[in-house]
Chain A
């Protein structure tokens, strides 16, 4: 008898009534959801840091156009650890500007991000600058969702010179980088005169 794949096994279980979807849901979607769970490891947490500011505006455009710095787009999804998308999550982000300065007077480089029906988020800004007391460029995240533990984390960039081109080996050059999973690849597009950086960063929350 040929060995069953994991997908086959789940489909067989479903056919035998061992798997049921709580809400009306196509079987293929339930299987995808179940299989997807394996791929949704919790996003590693890090510190909140001293520059959080309450009441950030609801926007995905963190800076007006033509601000100094490399234009940056970050996108991703908000999941729970079972692979369910969390449409009712709140995602707040904040970071230093190109010159390494946090805006504590206003809300430059700060925003509460709108989520799509599939719990996708996206924001535009510039690549954060370095500043003297922090080794790596980073973007702070505070993610909350009803029934889930708050996620406080930070996004880092594989192109950051501090990682010397090898984040897997050098991510701890910044002691606050708790996991190499937080160092994401950067895709550069455009020509050298009009360059843009894009990063994907998935957010996975733990059920409370």
Chain B
């Protein structure tokens, strides 16, 4: 009886703001998991540690691929938005793009220093690659097979970049608290927006490309007009720094990932917001360790990973 009471308290505590329906979608038996990522479109789950990344097909639960990293030269990875390609970045500046389906190498190129982070454009034509000190984002064209631009903030490091839906603009969020809106083909800085007094760590374009959803050290999601740089909406304040946000494909829902301000390892919330009503409403929140992640399905449902000693559980939040 006491055990059931503890279980009930645990369930209540771990999902204390759920009005959404949460069901188990898939369980994967895998130990020593230090990160999880649900590949865009929700078909695959990637998870692993410093030594290897494994990719499972979420519809069948089958292991699709194992990517060894025994030499620890791999430093970062990114998946294309259609979930078909994986970019792997290395210490020596090398970037390799592979097909998830058959493991074939699609393209290889290099930047001048260690690859720190990467981001695919919406159609997968472009890849933004951050260099070692995060000061420069280089844009590689997968069609032209060459670098087509380098973008740098006036001061500080770039925390995140986002491509506009039509892939004409790149927005960079820097530690100097500014948003830099660049025209990709000319390399021109169109606008420097100082909307918030603190740094933005994550951003996403609205589906029509007219607004930017931004969040970071201010613990709040703000919506900024691209043409004016003015904040037009602000969501309720959250408890911690927001390090990731993502809009659903229909733009009616938003998911956020918080991180303890001074610790990368402390548990923090993943939240789901419905944006369609008169005011944004939070329908789901769980305090989860940094190994957890989320991704929207094309249907608008959210997949969330839970990691434990037993393995990985993928939950569907509706």
B244-274 vs A: 1/0 string, CB under 8 Å? 0000000000000000011111100000000
Q: How far is the CA of A132 from the CA of B133 in the complex (A)?
A: 21
Check B199–A51 contact: CB distance below 8 A: yes
Which A residues are CB-close (under 8 A) to B264? 132-133
- Nearest B residue (CB) for A51: B217
Q: How far is the CA of A51 from the CA of B155 in the complex (A)?
A: 13
- Nearest A residue (CB) for B263: A132
Q: How far is the CA of A108 from the CA of B248 in the complex (A)?
A: 38
Identify A142's interface contact among B155, B199, B265, CB under 8 A: B155
Q: How far is the CA of A23 from the CA of B64 in the complex (A)?
A: 75
Identify A132's interface contact among B216, B217, B218, B262, CB under 8 A: B262
Identify A150's interface contact among B155, B157, B194, B261, CB under 8 A: B155
Q: How far is the CA of A51 from the CA of B262 in the complex (A)?
A: 10
**A47 in contact with B199 given A53-B177, A101-B261, A131-B262 (CB within 8 Å):** no
- Nearest A residue (CB) for B153: A48
Check B262–A102 contact: CB distance below 8 A: yes
Which A residues are CB-close (under 8 A) to B157? 47-48
Check B159–A133 contact: CB distance below 8 A: no
For residues 35 through 74 of chain A, which have their beta carbon under 8 Å from a beta carbon of chain B? Answer: 47-55
For residues 95 through 135 of chain A, which have their beta carbon under 8 Å from a beta carbon of chain B? Answer: 96, 100-102, 104, 131-134
Majority secondary structure of chain A interface residues (helix, strand, loop or mixed): loop
> B165 an interface residue at 8 Å Cβ cutoff?
no
Q: How far is the CA of A101 from the CA of B240 in the complex (A)?
A: 12
Q: How far is the CA of A51 from the CA of B216 in the complex (A)?
A: 10
**A55 in contact with B262 given A47-B157, A150-B155 (CB within 8 Å):** no
**CB of B28, distance to nearest CB on chain A (Å):** 29
**CB of A175, distance to nearest CB on chain B (Å):** 11
**CB of B191, distance to nearest CB on chain A (Å):** 17
For residues 216 through 234 of chain B, which have their beta carbon under 8 Å from a beta carbon of chain A? Answer: 216-219
Which B residues are CB-close (under 8 A) to A50? 159, 175, 199, 201, 216-217
A141-164 vs B: 1/0 string, CB under 8 Å? 010000000101000000000000
Which A residues are CB-close (under 8 A) to B175? 47-50, 52
- Size of interface on A: residues with Cβ below 8 Å to B: 21
Q: How far is the CA of A62 from the CA of B2 in the complex (A)?
A: 51
**CB of A110, distance to nearest CB on chain B (Å):** 11
Check A53–B133 contact: CB distance below 8 A: no
> B198 an interface residue at 8 Å Cβ cutoff?
yes
Check A53–B262 contact: CB distance below 8 A: no
Q: How far is the CA of A54 from the CA of B50 in the complex (A)?
A: 37
Check B155–A54 contact: CB distance below 8 A: no
Check A54–B177 contact: CB distance below 8 A: yes
Check A48–B156 contact: CB distance below 8 A: yes
> B176 an interface residue at 8 Å Cβ cutoff?
yes
> B197 an interface residue at 8 Å Cβ cutoff?
yes
Known: A52-B156, A102-B261, A133-B263. 12 other contacts (CB 8 A): A48-B155, A48-B157, A48-B175, A48-B176, A50-B159, A50-B201, A51-B198, A51-B217, A52-B176, A55-B197, A102-B262, A134-B262
Instruction: Show 11 residue pairs from A and B whose CB-CB distance is below 8 angstroms, ordered by the A residue.
Output: A48-B157, A50-B159, A50-B217, A52-B176, A53-B177, A53-B198, A53-B217, A54-B194, A55-B197, A102-B262, A150-B155
Interface residues of B (CB under 8 A from A): 133, 155-157, 159, 175-177, 194, 197-199, 201, 216-219, 261-266
